[in-house]
Amino acid sequence: MGIDIISENPKRFAVVTWFNGKIERKGEFNLYRLIRYIRAKRPDIIAMDSVTELGEDLRKFLRALPEGTKLVQVTGRPGEQKSLWSLAKEHGIRITDKFDPYEEAKVAALLASKGVGYEVLAFEDEVLITVTRGRSQGKGGWSQDRYRRRVHSLVQAKVRQIEEALRRADIPFDLEIEERDYGVSRGEFKVYASREELAGLVKPMRGGDVEIRIKPVERKVLEFVPLKAETAIEERKSIIVGLDPGITVGIAAIDLDGKILAIYSEKNMALSEIVRFISEIGHPVIVATDVNPAPGLVEKIARSFKAQLFVPRESLKVEEKNELLRNLGISVEDDHQRDALAAAYKAYLRYKPKFEHIEARLREVGLWKKRNEIKALVLTGYSLGEAIMKVKLAERPKEEHHEEVKPEVDVASYIEKIKALEKAIAELERENAELRAIIEEQRKIIERLERKLAEFDEGVRFKVLKEREIRARDERIAILEKKLKKEKEKVEILARKLAQTRKMHRLELSGKVYPMKVLENLTWKDLEELEKDIGIKRGDIVYVINPAGAGRKIAEHLAKKKIKAIVSQKELPVAVYEVFREERIPVLLEGEDIKVIRLDDFAVVKREELEDIIRKKIKEWDEEEKREELESVLRVIEEYRIERVKELIRKAEEERQ
């Protein structure tokens, strides 16, 4: 599929397909429709003259491509690009209109079909597989604990299943797990393979008790790889590489003479970055690790370089690593560089006797300058004699005339050497048999100890479960005690309120005073609390300490309750006052209109004084309304009189005219 941009804003593309020798113009697409079309058709190649035409959407576009579909820039890698039309001419593609985007899309598709261009790589050959629980476990409880343990067991089983599938497929990986409740709460695989290699092995899961997410690792920088592989191979220096994988990757390289060439560490290095860094130093013939078994990343690097993998018999201890660095007389910046260098140097020491033997032999035959090349050949599987002959044949100039070549090597010495090697092999076989017997004996001891350990683990597990149950019981007791304390506090508050209510009721029954219900602030919050605690009913008197900020709605709410009066320390807002006036609910000011007596948490007023002032207030309002009505009538009459006089004057003037 060839595509070319038609317009930038909005982005629209011309699309042309080439299939079975037939070019077909598919039309104009926006980015969203283009991605949907590609996912439906799943082409082998999407060809463009320049991927920069996708702009900020390039990464999004690459992530959306289906498996097996390549994005190819046919004009070459950035900085080395050729003109699309010169490439078309070079490959015999006929052009009709250079300014037609469909023509550019067609040329791009035809060039890609001929293997011209560079594939754009956005992802590493690495995949993250995360296995976690799929649902929230909610709040605690005995049944919830059982459910959580069940889910963690399912997660553990799924992690083991994926691990087994990857091992059967011989795909290297590293695994990190979080253990919990005799199970696993989370497992994360870092798999050193492409998403296509995992197809059919691991499938994503959503919506159940266990969730599996598969995410390819994106490259920090896009890479451009030629569609047709390059055949030229550089001759590089043979090296031994030590690797310490993890969040921070440590890399160390030494040559076959034991000389340190590079020590480096960096956070979040991708596989391609590690390979590129090592390749710039030389070609590894040994890739070493300091732990046993070897991490998946180290295996992947060794395979990619077809190098020998060096794994120590048992993981190196910190003291041994520090001792190796002291022997080298070198200091490093961090533990990752130390571990990588220790691994590389440990591998060198393991092969050092073989290297010394090779060097001694090469001094005899005069090939000292070629010692590292011959060492590398021996490490890749050649015998010493074969490696020497290979190097000599490579150095021997091609002769135009075929002449009889006299052997330069003394065959007798080789026969003696073969006999010595056969003897050494027999000794090694005998030693091997003795070691196998020792291993068998050690295996039986290990099995016996493992049985004892399993019995001990069962006892420890029972003890831990018992302690856990006791701890859970103590926690429940503490929670219940806390709840009991809160309930006691509520009972005390309610008892106090009940006593106040009873006291108010007694005062009301006495007939001498009128109890009032106190509101600290004339707000909805205080009003709701008062109604909840003792309630507000018809005929109540409400005593307001701070009326500021009250609104018309609160006044209307109290008026609906049919309260008898409002007593306030300060003047009410005008809107509130007007509502009470309209509803004939007297508003009395403390000190000016009536005297308030405070008793503990409530207040009272004298009944006779209250009733007297209420009658006066209502009478005042009635008289005031009558005055207002009279004034209104008089104002209407006066307005009518003035209008009538004006009308008479106007008529008189008309008659005179």
Residue ranges of the domains in the chain? 2-116, 125-226, 239-395, 420-510, 512-637
Long-range contacts of 299-303 (CB under 8 A, 24+ apart): 299/172, 299/192, 300/172, 300/192, 300/271, 301/241, 301/243, 301/271, 301/274, 301/275, 303/172
- pLDDT in the model for residue 395: 64
Q: Quick one: which of 144, 236, 233, 138 has its CA closest to 181?
A: 144
544-566 pLDDT, tens digit each: 988 887 888 998 998 898 898 99
Q: What is the pLDDT of residue 639?
A: 85
Instruction: Transcribe 88-137 into DSSP letters.
Output: HHHTT---S-TT-HHHHHHHHHHHHHTT-SEEEEEEEEEEEEEEEESS--
DSSP string, 247-259: SEEEEEEEETTS-
**pLDDT tens digits for range 325-369:** 888 888 888 999 999 999 999 999 988 888 888 888 887 777 777
- What is the per-residue pLDDT for 238? 87
Residue with tokens 């049985």: 451
Choose which CATH entry (3.40.630, 3.30.60, 3.30.70, 3.30.420) describes domain 239-395: 3.30.420
Q: pLDDT tens digits, residue range 46-87?
A: 999 999 888 888 888 988 888 778 999 999 888 888 888 889
Q: Which of 222, 27, 21, 9 is nearest to 105 (CA)?
A: 27
Q: How far is it, in rounded angstroms, from Cα 2 to Cα 106? A: 6
In 3D, which of 170, 169, 168, 173 has the Cα closest to residue 131? 173
Q: Which residues contact 56 (CB under 8 A, 6 or more apart)?
A: none
Task: Please tell me the predicted confidence (pLDDT) of residue 137.
Answer: 55
What is the model's pLDDT at position 342?
Answer: 93
List the chain residues with pLDDT less than 50: 139-142, 229-234, 398-409
Class assignment of domain 125-226? alpha beta
